[in-house]
A and B are shown apart, each in its own frame.
Chain A
C-alpha cells in the first residue's frame, strides 16, 4: 500500500424507518489528520449516519472502516481506534465523573494508576473536579454532560474522534477548552469528525466539510471548495435548497 487508508471511510450507509429514509447511501471520507465537519439541518440524518458509522445503530446497508478496520465486522479492534460522543444519550448516571472515567479506563485495559492519572487530567481540563467532584452525573448540567462524554471519548487515546454536536449547550469558556483540545489532537495526527449546525463554528475549526440534507450528502470537500467565496451559511442554504422563512414575520406578533 502506498497511501495510508482513510481515517474514517463511510460507504453506502443506508437506513430506513418504515417509509422514511433517514440516511440514503451516505459516503463520507475523513482523511488522516483532518478536522471534518458534517453539517445539515435538523432531521437531515446526521445522527443516524454517525450512530451507524460508530456501531451504535445497525445499518440496512453499507459499511464504515476506521483506519481500514470494519466497525461492524471487527468491532473490538475498530472501537479501540475511535472515541465516540453520541448526542443526548444517558451515562451510568449514579456515578461521579471520576468514578466513571477510572472504571472505564480499566475496562479499556489501562492499569489502575494510568487510568486514575488520565481521569484526573481529563477532569481538571474539563473543569469537572473541585466543587463538582462528588456530583453524580445524573445531576450534571447539559454542558457538563457534554464534557464528561467527551472525556470518555478521549480516555483511551483513540486515533479518530466521532462527536455528535459536541458544542451544543456548552458555555463559551468550556467550548474554547474543547476546541483547543480538539485542535491539538488534530495537530498531533489524530482525526476528528464532528456534526454541527453552527456554521461559524465549523468554518472556524474544520478543514473539510460535508453537507447533508434529507438523508443525502449534497456536498463534500475541502472547506474553501465547498463554500467558494461566500460564507458557509449562504452555501448551505443554497445546497439544502430551502427558502429561509420568517421574512414576512408572524402575523400575530407585533413588529
Chain B
C-alpha cells in the first residue's frame, strides 16, 4: 500500500511537470535549500550569551513548522489525498500510513530534513550522547511538521467551504504569514539580542513550542539528564501519533454539509437600473454577486485585511505605532496579491465570455471595478483610522498616496496578471466541497506583491521630496501623483488584459480545460520564456538578487528613512537607526543602493536569459 501510493504520487508529479511548474519548483527548492543551509550555518555559530543559540534555533524551527502549516493555503492541496480513495475498501489506518509515506516523498521534506540536521550539529557541539538523542528528535520533528501540515490543510478544507469558515481559515493563514514575514526581525535585531539575549518570557514561550522540544531533549541529554531528554522526545512521539490519529479520523469523515448560499428571488434576479444600462454593468453585477457568495472570495478579502492589521500591530510590542497609517495601503497591496487569479478561479466559465465576442473589455473592466468596490472603501477607511489612532496628521498624505496608488495599480495589474499568468485549477463546481483545492498561486501572488509595491514608489518619492524641502504642498502633491499612476495602471493594464483576452481566449480556455499551456508547435502560441528555461545557476542569481533587493530596499532602506524623516526616536529593528548618528544617513543610502542593485541584478539576469532564449 505504502509503495503503491508513493508510486502514484511520483507518477502524478511526473505527468504534471510542465516548464513553468518546473521553474517554480526549482525556485522553491533553491530558496528552501538556501534557508536550510542558513539554518545549519546558524547552528555552527558562537554566541556570547549562553542561551542565545538555543533560542535562535528555537525561532528557526518554529518558522519551519509555521511554513509547513501555512503552506497549503497557497500551494493548494496535495496531489494524492484521502478523497481519491474514499470508495476503496482500504482500512483507514493503512491509508493514512500510505498517504504519510507519499507525503514524505518530496523535495520539501528533504530540504526540511536537511534544515533539521542543525539539531544534530547543535548536539555534536554539546556531547556525543546528545547526538544519539538529536537524530531521532530530528526525524520526529520532520514527521510532526508533515503531519501538522496535512491535518491543518484538511481542517481548513472542511472549514473553508462556508463563508464563515473562509474568514476563519484566512485569518489563521494571515496570522501565520504575518508571523513568518516578521521572521527577519529576529535576525535583524540580533545585535540587540546578542547583548541581552531573548527576554526570559519570550524564551520560555519559545521553548514550550513543540518545534523546540527536540532542542530541549538534546540540551538535557548533554547535561546527562536522561529524564529531561526522554520527556520531550516522548512528547514529540505522542504528538505525532495524535496527529496521525486525527488525520485518519478526518480521512474517514464525510465532507461536512456545506452552508448553501442562496441566490436572489425571481423578482430581483434580472439586472435593472444602472446594471442593465450596458455590458459593464451586467458583468459588474455578476462580479459583485460572486464576491458576496463565493467562500473562496471571502478568503481573498479576509487574508489581506488581517495580514495588514497584524503587520501594523506587531511593532506595537516595541511601542511603535508608525505602521498604523499604512495598514490600508498594505491591505490593498496584499489584496491585489491574493486576488490575482480571477480568471483561473472561474475556471472554464470563460467559454461564456467567448460566445459573446467583443465583450472582453467590459468583462475586464467589470472585474477591476468590482475589486475596487470591495477593497477601495475598506482600505481607505483603514488608512484614515490608522492615521487617527497613530495621532499624526502629517502622515496622512503619505498613507493616502500609498493607498491610492496601491488601489489603482492593484486593480490594473490584477487583471493583467490574471490573464497572462493564469493559474489553472479545478472548475468551481468540481471543487465546491474543497475550495482550497486551487492551483499553486504562490508565484503569482509574489509577483503581484512586488509589482504593486513598486507602483507606490513614485508617489512616496514625491512625498519624500516635499518633506526634505520642507514644503507641505509638495508632500500633498504625492496624492495626485498616486492617483495619476494608479489611473494609468488601471487603464493601461486593463486595456492590455482585454486585448490579450480577446486574442488568446481559446488558448486560455484550453489551458483551464487541460491544466496545460497549448504547446508552442500549435503555431501562434508564444515560445517558452526565459523564466521557464533558465538554468539553476541563473535562477539562483535572479531570485537571490531579488531577495537582497527587497530586504535592503524596503525594510532596511525606505522604512528607516521614513522613520528618520518623521523625526521619531524609535529604532524598532532597523539597522541604520542603531548606529551612531553620523552613520545613519550613509547606512540608509547604502541600503537603498544595495536594494536597487539587487533589483537591477535580477533584471540583468532575466534580460541576459531572454536574449539567450531568443538566440536559440
Which residues does chain A contribute within 8 Å of B352, judged by CB atoms?
91-92, 104, 152
| Cβ A79 vs Cβ B355 within 8 A | yes
Query: B356, A107: Cβ atoms under 8 Å?
Result: yes
Closest to B262 in A: A134
- Docked Cα-Cα span, A129 to B269, in Å, equals 12
B88 within 8 A of A: no
A95, CB-defined interface residue at 8 Å: yes
Residues in A with CB closer than 8 Å to B207 are none
Residue ID in chain A nearest B286 by CB atoms? A92
**Closest-CB distance, B345 to chain A (whole angstroms):** 10
Count residues of B near A (Cβ-Cβ below 8 Å).
47
Contacts of B264 in A (CB 8 A): 96, 99, 134
A145 touches B263 (CB 8 A): no
Chain A residue, CB-CB nearest to B347 = A90
A139 near B432 with CB under 8 A, answer yes
Q: Is the CB of B263 within 8 A of A96?
A: yes
Interface flag for B317 (CB, 8 Å): no
Residues of chain A in range 1-39 having any CB-CB distance to chain B below 8 Å: 16-18
Interface locus among B40-48, B480-488, B519-527, B566-574: B519-527
How many residues of A are counted as interface, with CB atoms below 8 angstroms from the partner's CB atoms?
Answer: 46
Cα(A141)–Cα(B352), bound, Å: 19
Q: Are B290 and A89 in contact (CB under 8 A)?
A: no
Q: Which A residues are CB-close (under 8 A) to B279?
A: 107
Q: In the assembled complex, how far is the CB of residue A104 from the closest CB belonging to chain B, in whole angstroms?
A: 7
Contact of B270 among A79, A92, A102 (CB under 8 A): A102
Does any Cβ of B come within 8 Å of A180's Cβ?
no
Contact A96/B269 with A106-B282, A107-B356, A138-B428 known, Cβ cut-off 8 Å: yes
Residues of chain B within 8 A (CB-CB) of A183 are none
Binary per-residue interface labels of chain B (312-344) against chain A in the complex, 1 for a CB within 8 Å, 0 otherwise: 000000000000000000000000000000000
- Whether A112 and B507, one on each chain, are in contact in the complex, defined by CB atoms closer than 8 angstroms, is no
In the docked arrangement, what's the CA distance between A106 and B356, Å?
A: 11
Tell yes or no: A239 within 8 A of B by CB: no
In the complex with contacts A76-B357, A93-B429, A139-B260, A129-B349 CB distance below 8 A = no
Residues of B within 8 A of A134 (CB): 262-265
B21 interface residue (CB < 8 Å to A): no
A219 within 8 A of B: no
Is residue B354 contacting chain A, with contact meaning CB distance below 8 A?
Answer: yes
Interface residues of A in 133-154 (CB under 8 A from B): 133-140, 145, 152
- Residues on the A chain within 8 Å of B351, using CB: 56, 84, 86, 89
**Bound state CA distance, A57 and B261, in angstroms?**
33
Residue of A16, A84, A92, A104 with most partner-chain B CB within 10 A: A92
Q: How long is the Cα–Cα vector from A92 to B286 in the complex, in angstroms? A: 8
Q: Scoring A residues 160 to 191 as 1 if CB is less than 8 Å from chain B, else 0, what string do you get?
A: 00000000000000000000000000000000
Interface membership of B358, Cβ < 8 A = yes
Flag whether A98 is at the interface (Cβ < 8 A).
Answer: yes
Cα–Cα, bound, A139→B433 (Å) = 10
A91 touches B294 (CB 8 A): no
Interface assignment of B602: CB less than 8 Å from any CB of chain A: no
How long is the Cα–Cα vector from A120 to B260 in the complex, in angstroms?
Answer: 24
- B285 lies within 8 A of chain A by Cβ: yes
**Does any Cβ of A come within 8 Å of B128's Cβ?**
no
Q: Chain A residue with minimal CB distance to B346?
A: A90
Whether, in the assembled complex, B93 has its beta carbon less than 8 Å from a beta carbon of chain A, the answer is: no
Among B271, B294, B348, B432, the residue within 8 A (CB) of A102 is: B271
Assembly CA distance A55 to B429 (angstroms): 24
> Does B429 contact A135, Cβ atoms closer than 8 Å?
no
Closest chain-A Cβ to B203's Cβ sits at a distance in Å of: 49
B427 to A90, Cβ gap below 8 A? yes
Tell me how far the C-beta of B342 lies from the nearest C-beta in chain A, rounded to whole angstroms. Answer: 12
Separation in Å of the A253 CB from the closest CB of chain B? 16
B354: nearest chain-A partner, CB-CB: A56
- Contact digits for B465-476, partner A, Cβ 8 Å, 1 yes 0 no: 000000000000
Flag whether B495 is at the interface (Cβ < 8 A): no
Task: Report A42-56 residues with CB < 8 Å from chain B CB.
Answer: 54-56
Instruction: Check A79 against B357 for contact (C-beta < 8 Å).
Output: yes
Contact: B429 with A119, CB < 8 Å?
no
Contact B282 A133 (CB under 8 A): no
In the complex, are the beta carbons of B270 and A145 less than 8 A apart? Answer: no
Within 8 A of B (CB), among A96-139: 96, 98-99, 102-104, 106-108, 112, 115-116, 119-120, 129, 133-139
Given the complex, which residues of A lie within 8 Å of B510, measured CB to CB?
57
CB distance from B341 to the nearest CB of A (A): 14
User: B261, B272, B352 — which one has the most chain A CB atoms within 10 A of its CB?
Assistant: B352
Whether B355 pairs with A84 at a CB distance below 8 angstroms is yes
Residues of B within 8 A of A137 (CB): 429
CA distance A103 to B357 in the complex (A): 15
* Contact status A98-B357, CB under 8 Å: no
**Given A56-B351, A58-B524, A102-B271: A138 and B266 interface contact (C-beta under 8 Å):** no
CB-defined A-B contacts under 8 Å, sample of 17: A56-B351, A56-B509, A57-B506, A57-B510, A58-B518, A89-B427, A90-B427, A93-B349, A93-B428, A93-B429, A94-B290, A94-B294, A104-B352, A106-B276, A135-B263, A138-B432, A139-B260
| 3 nearest CB pairs, A to B | A96-B263, A98-B269, A102-B270
Question: Taking beta carbons and an 8 Å cutoff, which residues of A are in contact with B?
Answer: 16-18, 54-58, 60, 75-76, 79, 84, 86, 89-96, 98-99, 102-104, 106-108, 112, 115-116, 119-120, 129, 133-140, 145, 152
